[in-house]
A and B are shown apart, each in its own frame.
Chain A
Amino acid sequence: MAKILIKTVPAPAAETREQPAVGYTRRHLLWLRAKKTVTERHFWLGLLGVVVFFVGWDLAYRFELPRMEKLESPLYVFREFTLPPRGASTYNPALESKWGYGIWGKAWYTDIGMSVWRISQAFVWSLLGIPLGLVMGWKRSIRDFVFAPFELMRPIPPISWVPLAIVMFPSQEAPIIFLCTIASFFAVTLNTLLGVDSIDPVYFRAARCLGSSEWQIFRHVIIPGAMPFIFTGMLIGLGVAWFSLVGGEIIAGTWGLGYRTMDAYMNVATPQLLIAMFTIGVIGMLMAVGLRALQRRVLAWKTKTGEAI
């Protein structure tokens, strides 16, 4: 029989995965991708959506629709944000920002810095949920042991943790960070556990019959297999941490975007309130985008099949 299937084929020169098609550098590909996005319909529709939102807001304010007259016009907010603060004795509404909360003042940057610092610490602490979830998924005994108290504490909203947090952590920052950690921790752990459960049992069998020990199965099957869910858990945890941050800062903090919203309410400085809210949204979105970029790299084995992340 002619050997049609098994034949000695000279191995091609080793290609690294990083190298894309002939002639295209990574930078060139990014440029091409940007060009393609700008010509796509989806991009323009998205942009239109944002524009319509702001225009609608402005019109609602101008026509004094019910309850909308208390808000400020977006143009006013934008001016407040971008113009330099008022002088000591003068105030020209066309050229100066009344409250001074914007890109020219220090307050906005300090608020961002404080909030991001708190969130980052809380997020890092909540990543302890990943090993806990992995181990719970790995060993049935640990899951049985931990699951009951875990499920008892999970539904307790972070806000109701506030008094306990203030009592337990005498410092200024620690209660807020504790609050955000609690919120994020449960999301991360639960999703990690679900991730381990989602691994097809056939992979365990395959690893076992190839001669793996229990620890090797943990390292080579459980950890990579649960990764997609781990990232889902982290994204959800990040979002929940932001919710709790605002609540925590309102009650227990100084400086920070959540604190700023309460402070602006107290001083009836609506532009500050709106700027702070938008900033929270934008920074939350940027953090999620960063996490998704990391996800695309780590889960390259999944993204390369063409499934969207």
Chain B
Amino acid sequence: MQRFAKLMAKAEGFVPGRTGGLSIKNAGKIYDPDGARVVAVEDCSFEVPPGGICVVVGPSGCGKTTLLNTIAGFDNLTAGEIYLDGALIAAASQSVKPGSGPIVVFQHGALFPWKTVLDNVTYGPVIQRKMSRKAAQAQARALMEKVGLAGIESQYPGEISSGMRRRVEIVRALINDPKILLLDEPFRALDALTKSVMHEYLLELYDLSHKSIFFITHDLEEAIFLADLVVVMTTRPGRVKKLIAVDLARPRTYRMLSSSRFLELKQETIEGVHAEALKAFEAGERELA
């Protein structure tokens, strides 16, 4: 928390992240609901450098949320290992204890509706007794002011717009200084215009804090725009189809969406993604997790 505050204080500076390097090796997850084995994820391997943004793209039901759940600790792997900064955090025999490192921003929003925005944002530090309530509130106010969310502290999530709710949820995660930030299709419920603004917002936050980000989406353009590394997954059982390193310069703007390099990258990936989408459509996949 203190470190993040210092990072924010440096504002214009570019500080490379030092933690949050994710390494997934042969991860596999098999669900077994009434005896019928469903292979959700099979033999996925890729690496996210510390301070990098990794975006996983795939059709619905391809296992991307399952993968995120195993990193976050809501589920355990049946095969393979996951390392965070070199330390084994998840394997077939052990699962991540939630609260120890990765923090999730959920698809449909998980801001506690019965708490005010300020109480929501200060929830993490206060509940883990990292600081007193007053200190946490002061930090939260300062942080929210810096990211343009001042003035809504005493309102309830039901009273603010959905775009603001997503931003508050991201701030609620960031205030705990997590090693890696996991985002499960967070902008799915927003309209396209708000979504494009939120992309830039997320990237601005990223530029300030340089947290490792693990992002899940079904939108290829979103993936290429945000990521350092795009992981294309096949439809169920989910395997890694393609890894693409995105070398667009940071900070990225919406104008890059029509640049030639962007279109090249899109052309590289779209064949594969579309083929998987077609397969998923014909198989009538639904999201399991």
Contacts and interface: CB of A to CB of B under 8 A. Distances in A.
A275 B127 CA distance: 56
A216 interface: yes
Contacts of A7: 148
B242 interface: no
Interface string B89-112: 000000000111011101010101
B156 A304 contact: yes
Contact of A205 (B74, B115, B123, B154): B74
B106 A9 contact: no
B146 interface: yes
Interface in B170-214: 172-173, 176, 197, 200-201, 204-205, 208
B151 interface: yes
Contact of A208 (B99, B147, B157, B252): B99
A225 B113 CA distance: 8
Interface stretch (A11-19, A126-134, A173-181, A261-269): A11-19
Interface residues of A, number: 36
Interface in A208-225: 208-212, 216, 220-221, 224-225
Given A11-B141, A212-B99, A304-B156, 7 more contacts: A3-B204, A9-B148, A9-B150, A205-B110, A206-B110, A211-B128, A300-B156
B253 interface: yes
A167 interface: no
Contacts of A154: none
A62 interface: no
Contact of A202 (B106, B155, B159): B106
B171 to A, nearest CB: 11
Interface in A1-54: 1, 3-12, 15-17
Contact of B146 (A6, A203, A211, A304): A6
B158 interface: yes
Nearest to A202: B110
8 contacts: A5-B148, A5-B200, A6-B148, A11-B151, A206-B106, A210-B172, A212-B127, A220-B112
B217 to A, nearest CB: 18
A305 B253 contact: no
A123 B211 CA distance: 53
B145 A8 contact: yes
A210 B147 contact: no
Given A209-B99, A210-B124, A304-B158, A225 B110 contact: no
Contact of B114 (A5, A8, A210, A227): A227
A203 B112 contact: yes
Interface string A181-209: 00000000000000000001011011111
B72 interface: yes
Contacts of A216: 127
B73 interface: yes
Contact of B99 (A4, A211, A227, A300): A211
A12 B151 contact: yes
Contacts of B115: 220, 224, 301
A302 interface: yes
A304 B159 contact: yes
B147 A211 contact: no
A305 to B, nearest CB: 4
Interface in B2-48: none
B284 interface: no
A211 B176 contact: yes
B156 A1 contact: no
B102 A11 contact: no
A17 B154 contact: yes
Contacts of A8: 145-146
Residue from A205, A207, A208, A209 having most chain B Cβ neighbours under 10 A? A209
Contacts of B103: 209-210
A296 to B, nearest CB: 14
Contacts of A211: 98-100, 124, 127-128, 176
Nearest to A210: B124
A5 B201 contact: yes
A220 B127 contact: yes
Contacts of A302: 113-114, 158
B201 A6 contact: yes
B127 A203 contact: no
A206 B108 CA distance: 12
B251 A1 contact: yes
B150 A6 contact: no
A149 B154 CA distance: 45
A15 B153 CA distance: 10
Contacts of B145: 8-9, 11
